[in-house]
């Protein structure tokens, strides 16, 4: 058995060496969360892949995410030399520790495995790729790490590991809320190892900073969402035939989706939307965002148009100036408001989604906050300047100078 294992490891090692040779030996290593699919995560990963393919067309890119198979198909046209794996995700979940158990234990396992492949021999190939092939590590933005999702949060352990090997490492546009206790202490320590660590919301920055004087171990910078890295260029669908009213409402993160759906109907009535008026229902996460459509149909809305996430990913986001949007989701809020659409965001999971929506308000939206069970507000305005997207693009690119100097 031992001889078989040695032979297997030898073959794994040779395959990695061959891959490194064919790739020139050095890759951009991205940590992200595409593949579920969730529109925002696919958008962020796709925009970075598109940019790196344009500026560094000969440098392969590795995307480390939870679902590399679907991600590879969804993002197949974004970069000429993209490779998808789940090494960090697997190390965070496939160990002897409880799922989403103590963060320090899980992170310590990840760190040990990255140094010693024999601890996780099933993933030796991926570990060697990180050890021998990564010219940099970049944790892309998103809300895929938070305090109670410790298996995901353990991916931050790649920061101190990379620093110990003199591999440049940055994080851009992360949102870690809600976070507290041991998870917060771990995140604070890990962030201090990054060459640059930007976050997309003020509460995450405040949490990561130490002391009442606002100074911390890490220099945490509040930045725009990573989706702006290319100024939203090419992200929208054709405006032809799009309804004037759009709804994007998820059924998770609420205990009573019936009350949420009633709030949607109450808002449409407040806005004077007639039952036979065209209303678009946008899906960002399969199944989760669909139930509002049959609810509206049962309540008399007879001119509903469904935009499944696969179409949104392939054809572009269905927003145009002059629309009104009602959304629980964060990235639809960003893209619609950035297009100049008015709207309102419905508050779900105050410690998570409210933080996200407040970040969009800081970025330039004037949408109104809409609380379940309360009177529906009128729609607020979108971004007042289309130039904001380009300004945000430049800001994000400058923050990655340590790993992508040609983007400045």
231 pLDDT band, cuts 50/70/90, is: very high
pLDDT the model gives residue 350: 83
Judged against a pLDDT cut of 80, whether residue 21 lies above it is answered with no
* Range 149-173 average pLDDT: 97
Rounded to whole angstroms, the Cα distance separating 264 from 88 reads 39
Query: What mean pLDDT value characterizes the chain?
Result: 92
The pLDDT tens digits for 157-167 are: 999 999 999 99
Instruction: Give the pLDDT confidence of 308-342 residue by residue, as tens digits.
Output: 999 999 999 999 999 999 999 999 999 999 999 99
Q: Which CATH architecture has domain 2-223?
A: 3-Layer(aba) Sandwich (3.40)
What pLDDT sits at residue 12? 36
Q: Are 238 and 314 in contact (CB under 8 A)?
A: no
Can you give the pLDDT at residue 77?
95
> What mean pLDDT is predicted for residues 261-284?
98
- In the chain, what percentage of residues exceed pLDDT 90? 88
pLDDT of residue 20: 45
What are the φ and ψ backbone dihedral angles of 314, each rounded to 5 degrees? -85, -35
Could you state, in order of their start, the residue ranges of all structural domains in the chain?
A: 2-223, 245-370
pLDDT in the model for residue 223 = 97
Give tens-digit pLDDT for 116-134.
999 999 999 999 999 999 9
Count how many Cα atoms sit within 13 Å of the Cα of residue 354 in the half-sphere of its side chain.
Answer: 12
pLDDT range class, residue 386, cuts 50, 70, 90: confident
Quickly list H helices, 124-201.
Answer: 124-128, 150-153, 158-164, 181-191
Q: How far apart are CA 397 and CA 170, in angstroms?
A: 12
* pLDDT at residue 24 tops 70: no
Instruction: Judge residue 308's burial from the number of C-beta atoms within 10 Å of its C-beta, 0-12 exposed, 13-18 middle, 19 or more buried.
Output: middle
pLDDT recorded at residue 219: 84
State mean pLDDT over 27-50. 98
Q: What is the dihedral of CA 358, 360, 364, 370, to 10 degrees?
A: -60
Give residue 218's pLDDT.
Answer: 61
The 10s digit of each residue's pLDDT in 49-103 is 999 999 999 999 999 999 999 999 999 999 999 999 999 999 999 999 999 999 9
User: According to the model, what pLDDT value does residue 408 have?
Assistant: 74
Band the pLDDT of 190: cuts 50, 70, 90.
Answer: very high
Common-topology check for domains 2-223 and 245-370? yes
Residue with tokens 């405006």, as numbered in its chain: 239
Query: Which CATH fold topology does 245-370 show?
Result: Rossmann fold (3.40.50)
Residues 236-262 have a mean pLDDT of 94
Residues 6 or more apart in contact with residue 187 via CB below 8 angstroms: 147, 153, 156, 176, 179, 207, 208
């Amino acid at each position: 058995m031992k001889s078989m294992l040695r032979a297997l490891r030898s073959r794994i090692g040779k395959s990695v060496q061959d891959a490194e040779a064919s790739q020139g030996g050095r890759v951009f290593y991205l940590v992200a969360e595409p593949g579920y699919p969730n529109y925002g995560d696919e958008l962020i990963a796709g925009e970075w892949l598109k940019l790196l393919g344009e500026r560094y067309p000969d440098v392969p890119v590795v995307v480390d995410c939870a679902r590399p198979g679907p991600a590879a198909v969804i993002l197949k046209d974004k970069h000429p030399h993209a490779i998808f794996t789940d090494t960090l995700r697997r190390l965070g979940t496939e160990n002897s520790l409880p799922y989403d158990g103590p963060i320090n234990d899980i992170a310590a396992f990840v760190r040990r495995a990255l140094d010693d492949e024999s601890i996780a021999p099933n993933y030796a190939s991926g570990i060697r790729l990180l050890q021998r092939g990564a010219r940099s590590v970049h944790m892309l933005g998103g809300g895929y790490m938070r305090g109670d999702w410790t298996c995901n949060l353990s991916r931050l352990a790649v920061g101190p590991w990379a620093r110990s090997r003199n591999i440049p490492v940055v994080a851009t546009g992360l949102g870690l809320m809600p976070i507290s206790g041991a998870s917060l202490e771990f995140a604070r320590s890990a962030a201090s190892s990054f060459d640059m660590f930007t976050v997309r919301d003020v509460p995450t920055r405040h949490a990561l900073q130490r002391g009442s004087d606002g100074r911390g171990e890490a220099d945490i910078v509040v930045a725009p969402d990573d989706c702006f890295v290319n100024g939203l260029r090419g992200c929208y669908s054709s405006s032809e035939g799009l309804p004037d009213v759009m709804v994007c409402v998820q059924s998770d993160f609420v205990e009573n989706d019936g009350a949420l759906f009633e709030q949607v109907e109450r808002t449409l009535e407040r806005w004077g939307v007639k039952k036979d008026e065209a209303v678009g229902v946008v899906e960002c996460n399969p199944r989760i965002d669909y139930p509002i459509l049959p609810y509206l149909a049962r309540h008399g809305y007879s001119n509903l148009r469904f935009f499944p996430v696969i179409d949104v990913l392939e054809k572009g986001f269905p927003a145009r100036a002059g629309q009104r949007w009602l959304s629980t989701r964060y990235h639809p809020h960003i893209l619609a408001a950035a297009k100049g659409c008015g709207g309102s965001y419905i508050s779900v999971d105050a410690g998570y989604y409210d933080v996200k929506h407040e970040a969009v308000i800081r970025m330039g939206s004037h949408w109104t906050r809409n609380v379940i069970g309360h009177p529906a507000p009128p729609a607020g305005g979108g971004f007042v300047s289309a130039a904001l997207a380009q300004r945000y693009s430049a800001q994000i690119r400058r923050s990655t100078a340590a790993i992508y100097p040609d983007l400045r």
